[in-house]
Amino acid sequence: MVSAVESYVPSYKLSREVYTIPDLWREWTVGLAVGLPSIDELDRRWNSRWRSPKERQYYSTRKVIIDEVRRRAATYGEAQAVARMEEERLVAKASLDKVSKMLRAAKKAGNVEATGGA
């Protein structure tokens, strides 16, 4: 039998006020504020069940960027990967949505270096 606590799945809406890669990384890994869960924690505890149908596309768009940060972090470390990607975003004058689209296009074309960096 599943208890009420185990069956509870939180509802969380990714912030629409996140415009930078450092802020996105913070929301994803530690949460935006005390008491707010990180996206990693939500995924770990509830898989995709916490995501409403409206949030799924937004999540997927953001996750492309997070995956690239993690790929680069294997070489440079998290802080350096986040900083380099943010610098590239600023140089390109790109929104997070644009960065995500550039990464997807580069991956589809077989080019790992989508935003101009390593």
Domain ranges of the chain: 17-109
pLDDT digits (tens, 9 = 90+) for 39-76: 999 999 999 999 999 899 999 999 999 999 999 999 99
pLDDT digits (tens, 9 = 90+) for 75-94: 999 999 999 999 999 999 99
Query: Which whole number is the average pLDDT over 3-13?
Result: 71
Helix (H, G, I), strand (E, B) or coil at 43: helix
